Amino acid sequence: MMTKTDKIWIKSMELASKYWGCHQIPERSLYFRSYQFPICARCTGILVGELTSLVFNFFININSVFLLMIMIPMSIDGALQYLTIYESNNLKRFVTGLLFGFSLVALIFNGIKFIF
């Protein structure tokens, strides 16, 4: 019998697949109480980084060159995994995604601050 939690999980997986575009590969995803997150570890990191950046950027201003530099680890990790036999782990995926997501939103904030 399907529980209410099961139904919520199935719906969240469908919505994330449709609107986030994540591959949702089980071994590349995080789990909570035996339920797979609706987005993979890297996408979870990106989302958490973006949300964190929204809060922090109201209080601090971070150098854009530094922000571009901390985007590099995810680019390297993802490219190595795509182009070679290297297999990243979920902790690396989450952390590099977190840095990338934080930087992306912070750079957008810096651009908006610069314009206005």
Q: What is the DSSP string of 17-80?
A: HHHT-----GGGEEEETTEEEEEEHHHHHHHHHHHHHHHHTTT----HHHHHHTTHHHHHHHHH
CA–centroid distance for 75 within its chain: 13
Integer angstrom CA distances of residue 73 from 6, 88, 112, 114? 35, 12, 25, 26
What local confidence, expressed as pLDDT, does residue 59 receive? 85
Q: What's the predicted TM-score (pTM) here?
A: 0.87
What local confidence, expressed as pLDDT, does residue 93 receive? 96
List of the chain residues with pLDDT < 50: none
Distance (Å, whole) CA 87 – CA 14: 26
What local confidence, expressed as pLDDT, does residue 60 receive? 85
What local confidence, expressed as pLDDT, does residue 84 receive? 94
List the chain domain ranges: 4-115
Residue with tokens 């909570």: 32
